[in-house]
Amino acid sequence: MSLPESAELARLVRDARPRPREAFTAALDARVAAGFPREKKRRRRLPSLPRPRVLYPALGLAATAIVALVLATSLLGSGVGTGTPSDIRPADHALVEPTPTIPQGESLVPQRKVERSALLDLATGAGDLDRVADGVVRATDASGGFVASSQVDAGATGGTAHFDLRVPTDRLDATLAVLSRLGHVRSRSQSTDDVTGAVVSARERLSDAKAERRALLRALGRARTSTQAEAIRARLRLARTEIASARGDLHALGRRTAFSSVSVTLSARGGGTSGGGSFGPDDALNDAIRILGAVAGGLLVALAVLLPVAALVALVWLGARTLRRRSRERALDAI
């Protein structure tokens, strides 16, 4: 590039440069002339606190509130019944039984517990006593129950039978309906007994006895003398006896409410059918079987008598035939 071109380019660049404002140029020239002095930083002042005379009432109120709060807390914490009475020694304090609480989820109103029982008197024919008695046992087994006791007295002209049954309470009505069809129903009755109070009492006794046993076991671990330990052990034996008794009562009540007691009485009289009963197909079949049995017995007796006679007749016939044949042969030989 030639010199004239360079000069021209420099002029063009100079003309294109940005021009500062006149105020900025004058201020910059002044700072240059002064040697660029440093600016003094301004310090920020904190807000002034109120005078102590103004704070005195607020501090007094805060202190009064704190003292009142401490006094109220101490009075509430030392209320009646929260401390240990002076007449209870440290060794005996563990014997105080805790207040039983109701477990979460249990209702305050207990479910009713009812014991049910029934009486059934049946009449049947003299020859049907065994059949009806077997039907009673089968009906009891089918219901899921059991025969607690039974007694059957059968004779030629009749008899009686008594059954003490245990049937599941929820199947009592269905079982009574089946038993009633076995014979003529003379009487039938049911009764209920609400044992809810006895169940609740047994549960409370068991809960109290368990709580006492736990407290006594804790006290035994903190006993300091052999006399105290022996006294606690004696009370522990009584608590265990009470627990066993309450559990036994609960189990007995549970069986009584789960199974109903059914008393069945059978009465059989002579004449083939029970008084007031009807002659049905079963009675006719039984009579036919008895008649066939009697006929078969008579035939066996007749056969036992006729067999020896028939054998004797056969021997006589054979002897007579033999004699005639021999006499005929002698006559033919003589000719």
The residues spanned by each domain of the chain are 113-277
**If 0-12 CB within 10 Å is exposed, 13-18 middle and 19+ buried, where does residue 219 land?**
buried
Q: Closest by alpha carbon to 167, among 189, 145, 142?
A: 145
Structure tokens at 121: 């008197």
pLDDT band at 301 (very low <50, low <70, confident <90, very high): confident
Output the furthest CA–CA distance in the chain (Å, rounded): 208
Whether 268 and 128 have beta carbons less than 8 Å apart is answered as yes
> What is residue 166's DSSP assignment?
E
Q: Is the confidence at residue 119, as pLDDT, over 90?
A: yes
Mean pLDDT of 163-184: 91
Tokens 């129903």 sit at which residue?
A: 185
How far apart, in Å, are the Cα atoms of 20 and each of 11, 17, 32, 36, 331? Answer: 18, 10, 16, 19, 194
Tokens 């002339």 sit at which residue?
A: 33
Q: Is the confidence at residue 106, as pLDDT, over 50?
A: no
Neighbours of 44 (CB within 10 A): 5
Q: Is the confidence at residue 191, as pLDDT, over 60?
A: yes
**Cα–chain center distance at 204:** 18
pLDDT band at 83 (very low <50, low <70, confident <90, very high): very low
Q: Is the confidence at residue 29, as pLDDT, over 50?
A: yes
Percent of the chain with pLDDT over 70: 75
Percent of the chain with pLDDT over 90: 21
pLDDT in tens, 205-249: 999 999 999 999 998 888 889 898 899 999 999 999 999 999 999
User: Cα(114)–Cα(193) distance, rounded to whole angstroms?
Assistant: 6
How far apart, in Å, are the Cα atoms of 282 and each of 71, 129, 286? Answer: 95, 13, 6
Q: What is the pLDDT of residue 1?
A: 58
Q: What is the pLDDT of residue 156?
A: 65
Tokens 């059954």 sit at which residue?
A: 163
pLDDT band at 276 (very low <50, low <70, confident <90, very high): very low
Neighbours of 254 (CB within 10 A): 13
Q: Is the confidence at residue 137, as pLDDT, over 60?
A: yes
For every residue of 80-104, DSSP letters joined together read TTTS--TTS-HHHHTTSPPPP-PPT
User: Cα(182)–Cα(168) distance, rounded to whole angstroms?
Assistant: 20
Mean pLDDT of 126-146: 88
Average per-residue pLDDT in the chain?
77
pLDDT in tens, 243-275: 999 999 999 988 888 899 999 999 887 654 444
